[in-house]
Structure 1
Amino acid sequence: MDTRRGRTNRRRFLLIAGLPLLTLGGGMTYLLWPQPYRIPVRTDLEPLNERFRPHLGELTGAHWLGYDVDDEAGGGRSLPSPDSRVRLVGVARLAPGGAAAIVGAPGRTFTSAAPSALPHALDPYLPAAAVWQHSPEFDAYANRETPGARPSGMYLFDTARDLVCFDLLYLHT
């Protein structure tokens, strides 16, 4: 009976001492494990208005991301690439009536469309009930090449909320 009591005491000791050690070890592992790089959602309007004002007018609110597609780690590349690809993606609010004015302009055909696979960080800012409209003619108009950059991508408009959803890739040469 004495040997049985010794085993019970040893098990009790291991349980009491081991559980906190396992918890501490698990917590430290979680803290030290490399986390995926997350790009913060931006709300500043100046960079967007600078790019989009000629095509969209003045933006009054935005949630967007701008990042180098080739820089997966997010730490900044040490050597510049000969062709830097920057993705500019987000949702912005136009001036009242702005989306309806763009969609109703002559010479462009708008049809129903859905946003492409946007980064999950933007999900809270995309209204579930939005009715998005897209026009390849508007994309061609807004994505004109500028000195040093070639944009490509699409713009979607929700006229009920005066929203534009943009997903663009700028190739800087």
Structure 2
Amino acid sequence: MPTALIGLDYIIDIMHPRGKIARAAEQASQRAIISKANEALEIATQKQWLKILVKVGFSPDYIDQPKQSPMFAKVHELGALKLGSEGTDFHPDLNSDGCLTIIKPRINAFYGTNLDAVLRANNIERVILGGVSTAWAVQSTARAAHDLDYQVCILEDLCAAADENEHRTSIELMARIAQIIHLDDLKSF
């Protein structure tokens, strides 16, 4: 089945200890998200799947930042999520070679991006998602992918949230619209 592996917000500001809004950094480290993401990307390369890394970011003047959003209202004050800054760089240990990069202006990777067009241009039927945060980027993107009629799989061990309870609750909710899988499962896809 034509498949895309999509990694969400594996960027410094969100998941690295140096990040300006990295509430999930500790969980991401404990769960070894980046090393597992690299393994998944290698499997995707072997299987000739489309590899996409999506990151949230705003222009340096923050003109596109939704200041009324409870989630994004203060990022300009923190200097977070500014495109071209270290904060929107992918985690330094992430192997992004051969990956298409998509920049999103909101939580959902489909909103305001060409992600759906890229997937359809490549006849993709199944999307496999991992990312930080499970409760926000992964869940909102999974819901959108489901509503766009993609088969959705969530790589549970490539996701992290601010705490284990938030992560687990999100995974339980997504199990109604997606297949929950683990890194070891990818080899049999």
Task: Give the TM interval when normalised to the shorter protein.
Answer: under 0.3
TM-score normalised by the chain length of structure 1 = 0.25
By percentage of residues, which structure has more strand?
1
Name which one, 1 or 2, has greater alpha-carbon Rg.
1
Higher relative contact order, chain-length normalized (CA < 8 Å, sep 6+): 2
Q: TM-score, normalised by structure 2?
A: 0.23
